[in-house]
Structure 1
Amino acid sequence: MVSEIGRYKLDLVVMQETRWLGEETRKEDGYTLFYGGCVDKHEFSTGFVMHNKAANSVKGFKAVLKRMPCIVLANKVSDITFINVHALTEDKTDEEKEEFYEQLEQTIESTPTRNIRILL
């Protein structure tokens, strides 16, 4: 995967359905992978792949939920918060969907207002 990202010269890629257990940051071939959320099953984990030159500006990474990691990048004017949202499918219950969107709303609201917020 990282070789394809490098071939296209991408600096930031959002990942979904990675199926990797745990919350981790690891370096691979000039890129840093940030992922997390899977605790006991290999499903729905999400994250980011960043070129190392961009990864140097990372102030924080957190897997809010296995379907919702956030990464904060330092910027001259204002920090940038990326929220990777892998939304629930229609087969989930209304209660599960409501909990998910409540958590998304809490995540957005907990981001400092001076930050640029980007939902992906």
Structure 2
Amino acid sequence: MECAYSKSRWKTRHSNEPIGKIRVGIGVSETSHWKESDFTERGYKVLCASEEDVHRRGVALILNKQAQKALLGYNTISPRLISARFQTQVGALTIIQVYAPNMADREEMIDTFYDQLQQTIDDTPNKDILIVQGDLIAKVGRDWDTWKNVIGHHGYGEMNNRGEKLLNFCMANNLAIANTMFKQKNASREWTWESPDGRTKNKIDFVMVNNKWKSSVQCGRSFPSADVASDHQLVICNFKLRFKTKPKQNVMKRYDVSKLKDENT
């Protein structure tokens, strides 16, 4: 999986589990060599959105068996956007995995990306729990007073132009950035990207949730001990939710009424 890296992991409690949390899904950005849109590997279902001819971009969601049973459907919007909808005991959950254009890309590409993301959110039912996660390539800083409904008290670094665009987008869509809401013991749990020389560190990968459900977030941080063969760190958020398996449809048994004409029957 060259140039691919895991971005965020969302956790929940299965409806039959009385205690504890179970990892059920991983979002991945830059899955350039995964060409299939839907495949299974070692029991995990992989949902992909990628380009057919160019080994660039690409996003994916990796689901374990519990998440597969709760899956209602998914939509591959572009090589930078994929969404999936799940059933939980408190309603439906929509997860959008993203991979924003690089800093060197033209401004029109960035605008197109945000337009597509906005359309995806607009198409999501209002009652859904909404999670937007992935590589946004934006620095949101730590100005909690100005952006108190978007970032928490534990932002990182200084905001840049791309970060301001993301913050305005979050405010317009009532989204809170979960991995700025928790104080970390170690600095390595704060940043999500490191330059090749190890001198520069930034937080540019985020997990965002609609404000109505941000109280369900139990933890949000980087995971430096996970070796994902990338200059990005894994980002983990714990959500205290319960998945609900889709009920099986009852099949009505059909009777051969023509046999009623037979006297023996």
Shorter-chain-normalised TM-score: which range? 0.7 to 0.9
* 1:32 counterpart (45, 49, 53): 45
- Give the conservation status (yes or no) of the 8 Å contact 1:45–1:66: yes
Alignment of 1:12-91 (within 5 A): 12-19=25-32, 20-22=34-36, 24-91=37-104
Counterpart residue identity of residue 21, structure 1: K
Aligned-residue sequence identity (percent) comes to 26
> Structure 1 residue aligned with 2:105, among 89, 92, 106?
92
Contact kept? 1:21, 1:40, Cα under 8 Å = no
What displacement does 1:87 show?
1.0
Instruction: Give the residue type in structure 1 aligned to 2:84.
Output: I
Aligned residues: 113
CA-CA distance at 1:105 after TM superposition:
0.8
2:126 maps to a residue whose letter is: T
Shift of 1:97: 0.9
TM-score by length of 1: 0.85
1:12–1:50 Cα contact (<8 Å) kept: yes
Cα distance, 1:114 vs structure 2: 0.9
Q: Residue 112 of structure 1 corresponds to which residue in structure 2?
A: 125
Say whether the 8 Å CA contact 2:58–2:99 is kept in structure 1.
no
Gaps of 5+ in 1: 2-8
Q: Deviations over 1:46-88 (max 9, x none)?
A: 1111111211111111111111100111122211000011111
TM-score by length of 2: 0.40
Counterpart of 1:101 (choices 110, 114, 117) is 114
Give the alignment's Cα RMSD to 1 decimal: 1.8
Structure 1 residue ranges, 4+ long, deviating more than 6 angstroms after superposition: none
Asked if 2 retains the 8 angstrom alpha-carbon contact of 1:70 and 1:84, the reply is yes
Q: Gaps spanning 5+ residues in structure 2: where? A: 2-21, 134-265
1:77 maps to a residue whose letter is: V
Secondary structure in 2 matching 1:111: coil
